[in-house]
Structures are given as structure tokens and as C-alpha cells.
Amino acid sequence: MSTFTTPDGTEIFYKDWGSGQPIIFSHGWPLSADDWDNQMLFFKDHGFRVIAHDRRGHGRSAQPAGGHDMDHYADDLAALAEHLDVTDAIHVGHSAGGGEVARYIGRHGESRVAKVVLISAVTPSTALSDANPDGLPQSAFEGLQAQLAASRTTFFRELPAGPFYGFNRPGVETVDAIVDNWWRQAMMGAANAQYDCVFAFAREDYTEDLARINVPVLVMHGEDDQIVSYADTAPRAVKLVRNGTLKSYPGFPHGMPTTQAETINADLLAFIRS
């Protein structure tokens, strides 16, 4: 397996396929680089170099006792880019991965970055606050942690079978293979990392990070996202970056890169080539 070691001694697994302009994918909670397999195959076949890593405590990466916060995630992403000497990269982040990408630029700048894509992202914030009066209260995130602690294997079966992919909507047929793959990825990770990561993405406000992004940004969000509310995030995020475009999708769920991969891949390719 391909791995590198961060400055604080954490071993990070990554995939690095193809050649051409690099696209770096940052996955959502509580998954792994495997969640990007459809996009990585698609863009490799379209002449790009595709890279995705397992966040610390997730997938095949090391499972340290601490460091499960956005600053460490961003620093790990910077270490990956430095390890591979990646420049002129398109960074694509889904859900919590969108927060990771924003914080990476906020902490490390844009010297290696060409464009940014935020998909169903937690930016600029998801928690209830004066800036986000319709956000989720702290009790909602504590509820996620309680379900994880009570029975991680059960919770990680119910979430993708329900709201994550919109399989709980009338007329939407559950795809068991997608649910099984979500569960497989989630169970590979460390329970402590996934527990801590809930607050890592929930408590953060990425307003200042987004304001530091000057490169072109595409914000993509499903209007029927039941995990990260479209109205509370995407329209606010695109106003904070200097060169942003918002593309929303009526009826699409949080996990739309998987369930609507053909549409998402085509729109990503159009943005990257623009």
C-alpha cells in the first residue's frame, strides 16, 4: 500500500493513479478514499492524475489516540501534497472533506491549488449560531455520537439505508450494494476517530478559511440533502469565496457523488476544463 508519515508520526494511506493535472479528493465522515472510486476511475480515464487519502483514523490510515480535528486534517492534506510534490491541483471535498479543503487553504495557502470544488460540504458552518440561526443545535451532534457509541455497527447500517442517500424518500429504491459498501468503509475506521470527528466538523466555522480562497470554486449541493442542509450551507459558502459558482440539484441527496455519479462527474469535468 502507498503511505506516508505526517510530521506528528501518523501514517496516512493514499491512492495515486494516472498522470496529468492532479485532482485530490477529500472524503466525508466516516468513510475512506474508496468513496471516490467512481470519480477516480472516471477522471483517470479522462487524462487526469487522481489522488485520494484515508483521513487519519479512517480507512487504512493509522488510528492515533488524538489529532482528530480539522487543523490536523488540513495539515495532513498539506503533508500529502508536499509528499507527492503536487502543484496546480484541483481539490474536491465532500461533506466533512469540504471543511478539510477549506481549512487546508486557510492554513497553508493556494500555492499548490488551481481550483476547488465543495460537494455537499459542511462549509461555512452547520451548527446553530448567530451567523447560522437555522443550524443544528449541539444536541443533534451529541445524538450522533450517542448512537455511534451505543452500537456503531447498527448506526452505520441505518444511516446509509436512510437519509444519507435519500433511500428513505418515497419511490426511491434502496441499493443494498451501496449501503453495504458504506458500512464496509465506515467499519474500517477507528471508533474514537469517528466519534471525535463529529464535533471536528460540527463545531467549526469556516468563514475565514473561505474568505482566503481566491481560486475558482464550484459549490455543488443537493437540495434534498438530509445530512447537511442545502439552505444553511451552500448559498452562504458561495458568497464568502471571491470567485464562486453555485450549482444546486433538486431532489439530490447528500451522497449524490455515488447515486448521481454520471451527473456529478460531468459537471465536475466541465468546471475543471472551463
Q: Measured on CA atoms in the order 157, 162, 166, 170, is the torsion positive or negative?
A: positive
Which residue do the cell numbers 451532534 mark? 141
27 is a catalytic site residue: no
Amino acid identity, position 146: A
225 is a catalytic site residue: yes
Question: Could you give the residue ranges of the DSSP H alpha helices within the chain?
Answer: 37-45, 70-83, 96-108, 138-150, 152-159, 176-188, 191-202, 207-211, 230-240, 256-259, 261-273
Q: From the candidates 61, 95, 120, 125, which is the catalytic residue?
A: 95
54 is a catalytic site residue: no
* One-letter-per-residue 3-state SS of 223-262: CCCCCCCHHHHHHHHHHHCCCEEEEEECCCCCCHHHHCHH
Q: From the candidates 34, 54, 75, 225, which is the catalytic residue?
A: 225
Q: Which residues are catalytic?
A: 95, 225, 254
